[in-house]
Structure 1
């Protein structure tokens, strides 16, 4: 499935890839020009034939109770940032709050803290 044009290279398209990490299936949103290799199924390194390193893991915001959907990724590719609802579980109490997230070349996505 193609979600849109890659923001980091000229001819790449963002596609959905199924990966298994620590025994759990998770989606990886990656550029069609990005290719990784792994020995242990957890650490992924770019191969020599990769010309782009765009990647965003579906569960990159899981610690905040947010899994990135196809729609979230499409919106991120079209806009600079999007607003999402996150959860904080401080002191055993759930608190819901909205924050903007944006694409980040090093981490995939970043929460914009005011």
Structure 2
């Protein structure tokens, strides 16, 4: 079964947007978890410090991985947009605001 350019474009735009939103939501959730774990460590004195430190380090790695995944998704987005334009895809591309992309590039 083959897709037309229009059908492929529509599917890719929809799935790309969904993927980017999922990564963003995961980053928010993981950050909230890190915040809660840090508050619990601060407020509850009976928690073993070594175990809490290990948890915080693993949460940090998880968040770092999500930030990396977000950057990769943005790169994929740009590459797919280039391919779509070269192929003459008629689907209106979904792109995050340029200010958000510029701010992320500066932060990197």
TM-score by length of 1: 0.22
Larger Rg: 2
Query: Which is helix-richer, 1 or 2?
Result: 2
TM-score by length of 2: 0.22
Query: Which is strand-richer, 1 or 2?
Result: 1
